């Protein structure tokens, strides 16, 4: 058990431990660190911490979370991968404003339970699920997000659900910024089994 510094009470200890976690902590991690749930609720009630989502808290005096929805999803659903329009928005290659966080999960996995933010769960399998994953640290929290080229391939695969225009817009964004990696895009298109169907659009745009 962690020994308390002289004169440190349970509230002070909790604040110190949350700071060590980067200012954000899950209830489960707090309990493992020796913080009683009642202490978290006391800190919340006195304004020391604020609740981002069920079971996720942050110190109120810390720098505001830059992307709280993605942080909450990463903490609550560690096996989820940010995908499609949410990934496009993170990479800054869409004008769409996501009204829910799109995540990829393995087929057959349990549907996540999260009251907020709203989720759109897409089922992926095999290499389509495990390829093109990047780890981005948002406010100290590691978040799994598909790379821009993998996201483009996924958007083309799901074009009947999200719209072909979203794919074409993102493609133009990357091309105009000279950041489009054609070989990577074609590799992921092959993994998603859409390479042949995608090629005419690439030839017309690139």
Rounded Cα gap, residues 11 and 13, in angstroms = 5
Both 27 and 76 in one domain: the answer is no
Q: Which tens digit of pLDDT belongs to each residue from 80-124?
A: 999 999 999 999 999 998 889 999 999 888 777 776 788 999 999
Domain co-membership, 99 together with 138 = yes
pLDDT at 4: 45
Residue 53 pLDDT level (bands cut at 50, 70, 90): low
Q: Which domain holds residue 29?
A: 10-59
Q: Is residue 82 domain-shared with residue 139, that is, in the same domain?
A: yes
**Percent with pLDDT over 70 in the chain:** 91
Stretch 49-59: mean pLDDT: 74
For residue 1, tell me if it sits in a domain: no
Q: In what order do the strands lie in the sheet with 24-26?
A: 24-26, 56-59, 49-53
**Which residues does residue 57 pair with via DSSP β-bridges, in sequence order?**
25, 51
Model pTM score = 0.75
Tokens of 200: 């005419």
Same domain, 77 and 155: yes
Whether 113 and 155 share a structural domain:
yes
Contacts 24+ apart (CB under 8 A), 105-108: 105/77, 105/79, 105/80, 105/81, 105/129, 106/79
- For the residues of 29-50, what is the DSSP string, one character each? HHHHTT--HHHHHHHHHTTSEE
Same domain, yes or no: 104 and 187: yes
Note whether 95 and 26 are same-domain residues: no
For residue 90, give Cα distances in angstroms to 69, 87, 166: 11, 5, 14
3 within a domain of the structure (yes/no):
no
Based on the fold, state whether residues 33 and 84 are members of the same structural domain. no
Lowest-confidence range among 51-60, 115-124, 128-137, 176-185? Answer: 51-60
Domain count, the chain: 2
Q: What is the mean pLDDT of residues 171-187?
A: 92
Query: Is 42 in the same domain as 75?
Result: no
Residue 34 shares a structural domain with residue 85: no
pLDDT, mean of residues 155-159 = 96
Asked if residue 178 has pLDDT above 90, the reply is no
Q: Are residues 84 and 121 in the same domain?
A: yes
Instruction: Assess if residue 102 is contained within a domain.
Output: yes
Are both 49 and 150 inside the same structural domain?
A: no
pLDDT at 132 over 70: yes
């Amino acid at each position: 058990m962690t020994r308390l510094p002289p004169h440190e009470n349970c509230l002070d200890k909790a604040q110190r431990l949350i700071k060590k976690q980067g200012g954000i902590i899950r209830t489960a991690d707090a309990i493992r660190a020796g913080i009683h749930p009642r202490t978290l609720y006391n800190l919340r009630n006195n304004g020391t911490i604020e609740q981002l989502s069920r079971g996720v808290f942050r110190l109120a005096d810390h720098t505001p979370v830059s992307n709280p929805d993605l942080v909450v999803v990463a903490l609550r659903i560690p096996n989820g991968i940010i995908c499609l329009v949410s990934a496009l928005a993170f990479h800054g290659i869409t004008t769409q404003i996501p009204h829910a966080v799109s995540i990829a999960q393995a087929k057959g996995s349990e549907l996540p339970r999260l009251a907020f933010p709203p989720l759109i769960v897409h089922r992926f399998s095999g290499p389509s699920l495990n390829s093109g994953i990047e780890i981005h640290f948002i406010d100290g929290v590691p978040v799994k997000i598909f790379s821009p080229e993998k996201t483009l391939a996924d958007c083309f695969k799901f074009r009947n659900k999200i719209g072909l225009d979203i794919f074409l817009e993102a493609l133009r964004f990357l091309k105009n910024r000279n950041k489009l990696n054609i070989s990577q895009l074609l590799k992921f298109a092959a993994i998603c089994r859409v390479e042949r169907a995608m090629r005419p659009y690439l030839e017309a745009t690139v």
